[in-house]
Amino acid sequence: TEESKSLHVAIALTPGIGHLIPLTEFAKRLVLHHPEFEVTIFIPNDGSPMKYQKQLLQALPKSISTIFLPPVSFDDLPLDVDAETKIVLSLVRSIPALKDSLKVLLESTRLVALVVDLFCIDAVYDVSKELGIKPFIFFPTNAMALQLIFHMPKYDQMFSCESYSDLVEPIELPGCVPFQGRDIPDSVREKKSVTYQGMIRLCKCFSLAAGIMVNSFMDLEKGAFKGLMNQNQKQGEFDIPPIYPVGPLVRTSSSSSTHGSNNCLRWLNEQPDGSVVYVSFGSGGTLSSQQMNELAMGLEMSGQRFIWVVKSPNDKAKNATYFGVDSVDDPIHFLPNGFLERTKGVGLVVPSWAPQVEILSHGSTGGFITHCGWNSTLEAIVHGVPLIAWPLYAEQRLNAVLLADDLKVAWRVKENENGLVGRDEIAKFVKGIIEGEEGKPLRDKMRKLKDAAKMVLSPDGSSTKSLAKVAEIWNNQGK
């Protein structure tokens, strides 16, 4: 009978470890707190190896299944195609296969929801409508960025500039700290760019979702969430679906893979408390060769201990390893002459990938130079590690504004007249965050956020309750 079939939720991913991690964490928390659900995660791919992705997926509980969709081809796209286009197309081109799989699920389970991340609501809307499954968005970043999505179509009409970088006045979203036009995410900053029109169309489609789960929490972004929810009630100008703050959903050190961890962790064990700065630009972030050189010199000049996840430099793109993670060439070759010898014992250089969660949760780690990817940001908050914000691409500059200007748990680096973050500034920030008096307010604020993050996920916490609301809706859907 229908009743005896299990309640089921389908999740369709897009490429990018920064999307896979929070969506699998969401699935894990759902089945842990609401064991009546089973989940199937659909993974589009272009045939590339996905080594780290597979490691992450191996550790999932039994009630979460994963299905790799047949590889799609990007052979027809220009070589320099931007990441957003490929991300969107990876799912768009997988829709027929996804639809077939969903039909199979519909026959054997009570499929109540289809969850997609931020790039795909328009791609799956027709399918979900046809099959009678409600589409939900899991938004893997923050409420401020979500507000911007709902405002972009209006800004498109309101501002006549070609690039938001030219705006003189700061932009202020309801309940949010003001930011400059140049901090708008890359894909919607330049009106003439190839991604712009498509992204504006996508922004308008966000109102099609039956609900939006956000990987952030009330105490972190009270103003931004209230702003979203108030506009939701006003109805009219904006059509904002119900919003559910369910974060911070991050891996814990016990659940994450320990790939290569021994070396880093053994080294960290030997360092004094709070003495090490961890340097990483996420799975996709890359620096130019000149910038990599400045960073090396800055770390060396600071005299502080560090773990640096290095990638081969790229002079054209700031997200050169988004689809691959691993650098093609050995990144160690690109370090300044003699750097490894001079920093021996003080610094540890790790090529391409490090066990980040374990590093951030280690007592020896005292600061984090981060590209402000939202998962990295949340992981730092959960472990109370103060930040040096060095945003590179996507919505990272917006995250940096939130961290530096609003929450005041980060210092943000500035580029000099050559477009580089200079070694002096790097050395000053690193020294300040590890041992300076000026770093104390940051450390104190971070500690408070860490406590708040723990509270919201406790049995009575606001994010736990939010998730329960979603589960209730899905439960009713299944009746």
Give least dist CB 256 to ligand UDP, A: 7
- Within positions 20 to 49, which residues make up the interface with ligand UDP, using CB under 6 A? 21
- Which range of residues in 155-163, 167-175, 374-382, 463-471 is near ligand UDP by CB under 6 A? 374-382
How many chain residues interact with ligand UDP (CB under 6 A)?
19
Residue with Cβ nearer ligand UDP (25 or 38): 25
Residue 354 as a binder of ligand UDP (CB under 6 A): the answer is yes
Residue with Cβ nearer ligand UDP (37 or 374): 374
Give least dist CB 409 to ligand UDP, A: 15
- Within positions 274 to 293, which residues make up the interface with ligand UDP, using CB under 6 A? 280, 282-285
Among 15, 18, 44, 274, which residue sits at the site for ligand UDP (rule: CB under 6 A)?
18
Q: Which of 19, 151, 362, 383 is catalytic?
A: 19
- Which range of residues in 153-161, 262-270, 371-379, 444-452 is near ligand UDP by CB under 6 A? 371-379
Residue with Cβ nearer ligand UDP (42 or 374): 374
DSSP string, 180-222: -GGGS-HHHHBTTSTTHHHHHHHHHHGGGSS-EEESS-TTTSH
- Compute the Cα dihedral for 223, 357, 393, 306 and give only its sign: positive
Give least dist CB 438 to ligand UDP, A: 26
19 tagged catalytic: yes
Residue 261 as a binder of ligand UDP (CB under 6 A): the answer is no
Q: Which of 46, 76, 100, 117 is catalytic?
A: 117
Q: Angle at the Cα of 17 (from 13 to 20), degrees rounded to 5?
A: 35
Among 245, 247, 248, 373, which residue sits at the site for ligand UDP (rule: CB under 6 A)?
373
What is the rounded CA–CA span in Å between residue 275 and residue 305?
6
Pairing relationship of beta strands 276-280 and 347-351 according to DSSP bridges: unpaired
- Which range of residues in 42-50, 59-67, 149-157, 353-361 is near ligand UDP by CB under 6 A? 353-361
Q: How many other C-beta atoms are found inside a 10 Å radius of the C-beta of residue 346?
A: 15
Give least dist CB 223 to ligand UDP, A: 22
| Local structure of 251: helix, strand or coil | coil
Cα–Cα nearest to 294, from 423, 458, 157, 411: 423
What is the rounded CA–CA span in Å between residue 373 and residue 52?
17
Give least dist CB 250 to ligand UDP, A: 7
What is the rounded CA–CA span in Å between residue 111 and residue 39?
9
| Contacts with ligand UDP, 378-407, as mask; x by CB under 6 A | -x----------------------------
- Within positions 418 to 457, which residues make up the interface with ligand UDP, using CB under 6 A? none
Give least dist CB 381 to ligand UDP, A: 12
Max CA-CA distance within the chain?
A: 71
According to DSSP, the residues that pair with 43 across neighbouring strands are 68
Residue 17 as a binder of ligand UDP (CB under 6 A): the answer is yes
Pairing relationship of beta strands 110-116 and 134-139 according to DSSP bridges: parallel
Tokens 């691409």 correspond to what residue? 393
According to DSSP, the residues that pair with 115 across neighbouring strands are 11, 136
- Within positions 292 to 311, which residues make up the interface with ligand UDP, using CB under 6 A? 309
Residues 6+ apart with CB under 8 A from 319: 83, 284, 285, 286, 392, 393, 394
Residue at 463: amino acid letter: S
Cα–Cα nearest to 372, from 107, 124, 183: 183
| Residues noted as catalytic | 19, 117
Task: Give me the residues that bind ligand UDP (CB under 6 A), please.
Answer: 16-18, 21, 280, 282-285, 309, 353-354, 356-357, 373-376, 379
